[in-house]
Structure 1
Amino acid sequence: MEESTSSNLQLPGFRFHPTEEELLGFYLKNMVFGKKLHLDVIGFINIYHHDPVELPGLAKIGEREWYFFVPRDRKHGSGGRPNRTTETGFWKATGSDRKILSLSDPKKIIGLKKTLVFYKGRAPRGCKTDWVMNEYRLPDSCPSPKDIVLCKIYRKATSLKVLEERGSHGRRNENKSCIPTFTSTDTPNGHNLLQQSP
C-alpha cells in the first residue's frame, strides 16, 4: 500500500526551496503540459476562492512560503486581465512583470514574475495587508495548452520576532493586520506631516 505524499515529506531537515528556474522550467512547465511528477508537492487550487490566511492550511507543503498551481480566471471570458478578487479583498500588482532568464543561457526568457499584495476591501480602496504573492507564468513565446500559473504565497515580516508575536496572539488579531497607507504633506513652516490616505 502506498503512503500519502504528506507522510513521505515529513523528513527531518527537508525543505522545499526551489529556484525560480526550477519553478518555471520543471514544476510549472510539467504541470501545463500534463506530465505527472513523482512527488505531489504543489497543489492545484483556485486561491481566489480563499482568504490568504486560509492558504497555508491548503498547501501540500511549506512553513513560511506556500506554493500553488492556479487556473487563470479572466475578467471578460478568454481575454482581458486576470480576475484576482476574493470574497473579502483583492490582490494588487506592485509593478510590471519581471522577466526570468535562464542561468545557463542568460538571453533566454524562461518565464515572467509578477508580485502582488493582498488588500482587504473592494478596489480601488482597500486596506493593505502583509500577504504577498509571486505569480510565475510561462512566456508568451511558449504556447501552452492550459492557462495555469504557479503562485508562491508568503507573509512579509520584518523579523522572526514579528512572526513569533503574531503566532502568540493567534487569529484574534488577524483582522487588525491591515496596514494603513500614509502620504507625506509639507506644512508652510517646513515640517513634514503624515496623513492617512483615504
Structure 2
Amino acid sequence: MVNPVGLRFLPTEEEIVDHYLRLKNHGGSNTSHVDQVISTINICNFDPWELPRQSRMESKDQVWYFFGRKEKRYNRGERQIRKTKSGFWKKTGVTMDIKRKRSGHREKIGEKRVLVFHSSGSKTNWIMHEYDAACLSPTQNMTYTICKVHKKDEGREISSPGSDIDAHSLSLITHMNNSGGESSTAASEVGLSQSQTL
C-alpha cells in the first residue's frame, strides 16, 4: 500500500494501542482495515534490513509497523533476547506505560518496550518499539503486539520515557514548520486523520 502524496502514517502511541492493536486483538470483520495497513509477521524470521519489504506501506520516513504474535518472553527478569539470522533484538531501558490521555484518570491501556538490534557483537542503529495492549476486562484476549521498527540516524536519539513525540515525529513537524507548510498541530494529527480514512 502506498501512502497518498503529502501524507505520513504517524499514529500516536495511544492510537497504536487503542485503534490498531485493540481492533486486531478483537478479531473478526473489525480487523480488515487494520490488516490492510499493517502486516502480520514473525519479526524474528527477518533481519531488520529485510523488514521494509515485508511492510504493507511504503515509508520515506524509515519507519515500519508490524503485528506480531504475543509470546511470553519476558518472564525471566525481562532479559530474554530474540535471535534472527544475523543477530538479536535486546531490550533496553524500562518498560513504559501507555496511558489514555482523554480520560480524567489517565488509565493504562498498554505498555511499550524498546529493543535494539545487535549484530557482530555490537549495537546497530536499528530500533524497535514493541507495544502491548493491557487487558481492560477479563474476557479480552490480547494475542498480538505491534512492533514499530526504524533505523535511527546518527544524530537522532531514542525518545525519552513519557515523551509523546519521538525524535522522528518531531523532526517531521520541525521540517514542516520551517518549510512554510502545515502547522505543528496539523502535522501531529496526521496519524489520526490517516487512520480515520482507512
Coarse TM-score class (shorter-chain normalised): 0.5 to 0.7
Q: Which residue of 1 aligns with 2:53?
A: 57
- Superposed CA deviations along residues 137-184 of structure 1, whole A, max 9, x for unmatched, are 012555542421100000110359xxxxxxxxxxxxxxxxxxxxxxxx
Gaps of 5+ in 1: 1-5, 161-198
The answer to which structure, 1 or 2, has the higher relative contact order (CA under 8 A, 6+ apart) is 2
- Superposed CA deviations along residues 100-132 of structure 1, whole A, max 9, x for unmatched, are 1111025200110000100014xxxx2110000
1:131 partnered with 2:131 = no
Q: Which residue of 1 aligns with 2:39?
A: 43
Aligned-pair distance for 1:37? 3.6
- The one-letter code sitting in structure 1 at the alignment partner of 2:55 is A
- Kindly report structure 1 stretches of 4+ aligned residues shifted beyond 3 Å: 73-76, 79-83, 140-144
Partners in 2 of 1:49 and 1:84 — Cα distance?
10
- Superposed CA deviations along residues 71-108 of structure 1, whole A, max 9, x for unmatched, are 134469xx766662112211111112100111102520
- The one-letter code sitting in structure 2 at the alignment partner of 1:49 is N
1:115 partnered with 2:110 = no
Aligned-pair distance for 1:13? 1.1
Q: Which residue of 2 aligns with 1:94?
A: 92
Q: Which residue of 1 aligns with 2:24?
A: 31
Q: Which residue of 1 aligns with 2:184?
A: none
Conserved? CA contact 2:81–2:89, under 8 Å: no
Gaps of 5+ in 2: 157-198
Give identity over the alignment, percent. Answer: 35
Conserved? CA contact 2:109–2:136, under 8 Å: no
Q: 1:68 aligns with which of 66, 69, 79?
A: 66
Partners in 2 of 1:37 and 1:31 — Cα distance?
9
Partners in 2 of 1:150 and 1:20 — Cα distance?
11
TM norm structure 2: 0.66
Aligned-pair distance for 1:10? 4.4
Alignment RMSD (CA, Å)? 2.4
Q: Normalized per residue, which structure has more helix? A: 2
Conserved? CA contact 1:74–1:83, under 8 Å: no
